Amino acid sequence: GDSVTQMEGPVTLSEEAFLTINCTYTATGYPSLFWYVQYPGEGLQLLLKATKADDKGSNKGFEATYRKETTSFHLEKGSVQVSDSAVYFCALSLESSASKIIFGSGTRLSIRP
């Protein structure tokens, strides 16, 4: 079945370090891909998305490129800040309804000052 596999955490980095959180997917069709973020004490927020191959989603300095050939959607940021500490979820959806979103298990990111 359709699924998402993402890098296990926790990931701990120093401020201004380069971040990569790996995400790969398995899907029978052509899904849309998402990264959600959950800051401490808050709900999940959509961080970025891409709807077709080679699309790049970007927001708040984060980027992810939809790679159909490697079935991947890795999250990157060039210089992380303490405020980026959160749990990051990779997800896919083959339909536009929120009832059809399939999530990865989440990666906890901690940034040291």
Residues that bind another protein (CB under 8 A): 4, 36, 41-46, 89, 91, 96-106
Nearer to another protein, 20 or 105 (CB): 105
**Separation CA 25–CA 3 (nearest Å):** 6
67 near 76, Cβ under 8 Å?
A: no
Classified as helix, coil or strand, 98 is helix
Q: Tell the smallest beta-carbon distance from residue 2 to another protein (Å).
A: 12
Nearer to another protein, 80 or 93 (CB): 93
Q: Tell the smallest beta-carbon distance from residue 87 to another protein (Å).
A: 10
DSSP single-letter state for residue 74:
-
Nearer to another protein, 3 or 14 (CB): 3
Q: Tell the smallest beta-carbon distance from residue 17 to another protein (Å).
A: 26
Q: Residue type at 109?
A: L
Half-sphere exposure of 17 (CA within 13 A, CB side): 16
Nearer to another protein, 45 or 79 (CB): 45
